[in-house]
A and B are shown apart, each in its own frame.
Chain A
Amino acid sequence: MARSIMTPAFKIERDEDRCIQCGVCVRQCANDVHHQDEDGWMWVDDEKCVACQRCAVLCPTRALSIKEYPIDFRSNQHWTSPTIREIYAQAESGGVLLTGMGNPRSYKNFFDHLLLNASQVTNPSIDPLREPMELTTYLGNKSQNGSEGEKPQLELDIPIMFSAMSFGSVSINVQKSLAAAARELGTFWNTGEGGLHSDLLGYGKGAIVQIASGRFGVHPDYLENSAAIEIKIGQGAKPGIGGHLPGEKVSQEVSRARMIPAWSDAISPAPHHDIYSIEDLAQLIETLKVATRYRKPIAVKVAAVHNISAIASGVVRAGADILVIDGFRGGTGAAPMRIRDNVGIPIEMALAQVDSRLRDEGIRSQASLVVTGGIRNSADVLKSIALGADAVYIATAALLALGCHMCQMCFTGKCNWGIATTRADLTKRLNPIIGSRHAINLLTAWSHEIKEMMGGMGINAVESLRGNRLMLRGIGLTREELDLLGVKPAGE
């Protein structure tokens, strides 16, 4: 193989005045970037570095720093540096560019163009330290339909859940962390399409179990040992395509959880081969309801795409109790870069449109609306709720709390933080006791913030904020965008 036409993406700088040749970096890098020779000299191979920062974080003397490789192409607004490098990469590999995590492009971020209201004089604000604030949320079909009685509901102490990440795409310790955190927080975690690992059987009742196009790990006990069932039609990071867990990640444990042969590729087809229409979906939903004797809410997860409101209407009419919409910022363990970066629509738009559509059609009460895909903080959560969501799912934010450093190399399986890997030696780098504590801390902090912001608005129950778009104002948005979001511009 000839020498690459690319410079490395990153440059590792070692401060020799600080380096004590302890070798922690060598022992911690699964990408073999660092190397210590027989004389104790330290060497780096910049080309292998993915900027996960594991070495820099663990270095006891802070001798390491990682920078983008300090070389610039001739300035060009069209042929930018990433664009050129992607072409080099494809020229050398001949393959589809793979990537991980969510869409990083600079598309307009509508959350950042929405502002929240606060009470002044005419209605009093509420001090959450003195007054009770209600964050409890119920997810499920709330319509009263004659003799059928009350429909099954999920009770959430906070309107935030952990989104689907399968065992295989993430390590078992990620699931352990989130499962334990969800139990502690009074919310739910999601198995993803990877079955339920035997270590987590005790956490099944706190899990939303997923059924996707590969139907991995689905069996009666899996459905029974759950809080709710989620049919995954699409994913925000890669709408319209399936999943592919390479054989080398299908370890014995993954194989057991997914009920597939070890070391064979786990392929989730692009569509469910038994769902080609809303009627087909309705059939699967009904099947699952019957199988679980109408005791569990059934969720359907779709990606936010162009005609999302019509799709949402169909899904709700098909009998879904919870509709999950995943926006184009949603994360992934592996997706073709072109799809992640160019397919789908922003969750804010999709949410506003779907909420309005369901209200217009008078079926909003038949299903709860959960949004996900790029929720970064408590303000994003509140804005989502004000736009019409019942609750949100978070995944990327949760992984960051667990130690993810956003290197976007999840698909290599060599995650140095023990997150996106099934290798035992890397998995143990995430201690689920610490992981769950971090996840609990994060959501505890967010719920404090949510209560404070709600109190400021004079609202003492998250119920009262749902779909309350008067609490939002747009800034820097066009008239059309404001109309689509259903919010007034700041100042009006």
Chain B
Amino acid sequence: MKVVALPEYCLGCGLCEIYCAAQHDGWNGNVLKAFKKGKPVNRSQLMGSSQWCWLNTCMHCTDAPCVNGCISGAMQRDPDGTVYVDTERCVGCFTCVMLCPYGHVRPWQEKHQVIKCDLCRDQKGIPACVANCPNGALQLLVEEVDAG
């Protein structure tokens, strides 16, 4: 599974980032509370200019360089194929950041860890960015996961 961004329909409105941030770290998708009470951090980042923009989503690569190169075993792939960071184990060496050709995995400076899309795996339903994109510029692509 992965979220695919379609730049030709991306408005650059940034709702994906907002809902992404509010979906994580215990804010449960409550945008108002998340932004009024805290400083929620989005996983995926909007890229480009207003003319040509897209959400830099995780490809959840089958042969994921970030997982393979993680020095602490924090970067993992769950049985559904979702690549996620185990924040208990991440030491913030940023090797995965260096290995991600999409520039998706990025440092979370405040926590001295890395941050990336986890497809909202802790939540029910489709990822928050896809659910809240006003123009269908984000789509959830479900592929067969290699059982190995």
Show the binding face of A for B, using Cβ within 8 Å: 18, 20-24, 27-28, 57-58, 60-61, 424-425, 428-431, 433-434
Contacts and interface: CB of A to CB of B under 8 A. Distances in A.
Given A24-B14, A27-B12, A428-B8, 6 more contacts: A20-B35, A28-B13, A60-B19, A61-B31, A428-B9, A434-B135
Interface of B: 8-15, 18-19, 31-32, 35-36, 50-51, 132, 134-137
A22 B35 contact: yes
Contacts of A430: 135
A29 to B, nearest CB: 11
A27 B14 contact: yes
B32 A428 contact: no
Contacts of B12: 27
A27 B35 CA distance: 18
A433 B15 CA distance: 20
Contacts of A57: 134
Given A18-B32, A20-B35, A60-B31, A431 B15 contact: no
B36 A24 contact: no
B10 A60 contact: no
Given A27-B50, A424-B51, A20 B13 contact: no
A57 B132 CA distance: 12
Closest 9 pairs (CB-CB, A-B): A20-B35, A431-B9, A431-B136, A431-B135, A61-B32, A60-B31, A434-B136, A24-B13, A22-B18
A429 B134 CA distance: 9
A24 B135 CA distance: 14
A22 B136 CA distance: 20
Contacts of B11: 27-28, 428-429
Contacts of B9: 428, 431
A22 B14 contact: yes
Q: Which of A57, A61, A428, A429 has the most B CB atoms < 10 Å from its CB? A: A428
B135 A429 contact: yes
A237 to B, nearest CB: 29
28 contacts: A18-B32, A20-B32, A21-B35, A22-B14, A22-B35, A23-B14, A24-B18, A27-B12, A27-B13, A28-B11, A58-B13, A60-B132, A61-B31, A61-B32, A61-B35, A425-B51, A428-B8, A428-B9, A428-B10, A428-B11, A428-B135, A429-B11, A431-B9, A431-B135, A431-B137, A433-B136, A434-B135, A434-B136
Most buried by A among B13, B15, B51: B13
A33 B122 CA distance: 38
Contacts of B50: 27, 425
A57 B35 CA distance: 19
Contacts of A23: 14
Contacts of A24: 13-15, 18
Contacts of B32: 18, 20, 61
Nearest to B10: A428
Contacts of B36: 20
A396 to B, nearest CB: 22
A118 to B, nearest CB: 41
Nearest to A429: B11
Given A424-B51, A428-B8, A58 B15 contact: yes
B140 to A, nearest CB: 15
B82 to A, nearest CB: 25
A388 B134 CA distance: 41
B59 to A, nearest CB: 22
Nearest to A20: B35
* Residue among A21, A22, A424, A430 having the largest count of chain B Cβ atoms under 10 Å: A22
A21 B32 CA distance: 11
B134 A58 contact: yes
Contacts of A429: 11, 135
B104 to A, nearest CB: 21
A428 B8 CA distance: 6
Nearest to B11: A429
A16 to B, nearest CB: 11
